[in-house]
Amino acid sequence: MVEKIQIAHIPDDLPIYVACYKDVQNASFLKQQLLAGNQVYNYAFVDATTILSRQHLLAAAFRALNDHIHDRLKSNNVHSEIVVCLSSNNNIGDAFRRFGIQDSTKDLVIVKVGLSPEFASESVEGHLKDAIEGTPVPFDDAFLRQTCDLDKLRKTYKLGKPQQGKTVMNGNGGHATDERSDIEVQVLGLMALRGAT
């Protein structure tokens, strides 16, 4: 279930590996490993309820990798930077709190950057199998649609309320995919503008 992804424009020797888990039981343990700086747990652990779509997460990974190759990370390493890059403001603690793993996290998106050649999908998969108590699921929009908390996301990015009556206009009832792609464009823009003065 670990997917290797080569993000466009990023050098070939920096692929990323993405895995998703639901019903995670040991979130607080994982969070502690991050806080303790345990190198074995050097991953981006993202709370899946804050992710709109594959594109949303991959856009953050793109910025983190680009900032990495230009040597201007805001945080400790490229993995924590992926979490920072999901945010629209420059406060790192705030980004970790909003997008990173919490004690209560049940659904996880995990990203590993292949910084050296020994990170093959298999080795990432092997480690995660032991490390994560949860059910692996594919990294796809179907999973993220189930888990994403749109109201929280609107607040996080200060997007304002969804328009009343809009779904009536579609004649489609609550057309959730539309609402997602509706806000996705602006979310990507806000992430790209982070830190601009």
Partner 1 sequence: MSTTELQVQATDAQELIHLLPSPFTNTQPAPELLTQGAEALVYKTHFLTPAQPAILKFRPSKAYRHPTLDARLTKQRVLAEARVLVKLSAPDVRDAGVHVPGVLALEWDVARKVKNTGAEVERYRKEAQGAVSGAWILMEFVEGSSVKDLLRGVDGYVKGRAGSGNAVNAEEMVVIEQEVKGLLRRIGRAVGALHSKGGVVHGDLTSSNVMVRPYRKDHGLVNGDGDAHGEAEEDRCPNLSGDVVLIDFGLATQSTQDEDRAVDLYVLERAFGSTHPKQEGWFDAEVLKHQDGYKGSFKGSNVVVKRLEEVRMRGRKRSMIG
Stretch that binds partner 1, among 1-9, 29-37, 95-103, 124-132 (CB under 8 A): 1-9
Q: Measured on CA atoms in the order 83, 86, 91, 97, is the torsion positive or negative?
A: negative
Contacts of residue 39, Cβ cutoff 8 Å, sequence gap at least 6 = none
Would you count residue 196 as binding partner 1 (CB under 8 A)? Answer: yes
Binding characters for partner 1, 13-52, by CB under 8 A (x = yes): ----------------------------------------
Number of shown-chain residues binding partner 1 (CB under 8 A): 36
Residues 29 and 38: their CA atoms lie apart, in Å, by 11
Would you count residue 162 as binding partner 1 (CB under 8 A)? Answer: yes
Q: 157, 193, 108: which is closest to 182 by C-alpha?
A: 157
Residue selected from 40, 130, 142, 160 as contacting partner 1 according to rule CB under 8 A: 160
Stretch that binds partner 1, among 2-10, 45-53, 102-110, 122-130 (CB under 8 A): 2-10
Could you tell me if 195 and 70 are in contact, meaning their C-beta atoms sit under 8 angstroms apart? no
Residue selected from 1, 120, 131, 190 as contacting partner 1 according to rule CB under 8 A: 190
Query: Interface residues for partner 1 in 67-86 (CB under 8 A)?
Result: 68-74, 77
Strand partners, 42: none
What's the alpha-carbon Rg for the chain, to the nearest Å? 17
Stretch that binds partner 1, among 27-35, 63-71, 97-105, 140-148 (CB under 8 A): 63-71
Chain center to CA of 85: 9
Name the maximum alpha-carbon separation found in the chain. 53
Length, in residues, of the chain:
197
Which chain residues interact with partner 1 by CB under 8 A?
A: 7-12, 55, 58-59, 62-63, 66, 68-74, 77, 115, 159-160, 162-163, 166, 182-183, 185-186, 188-190, 192-193, 196
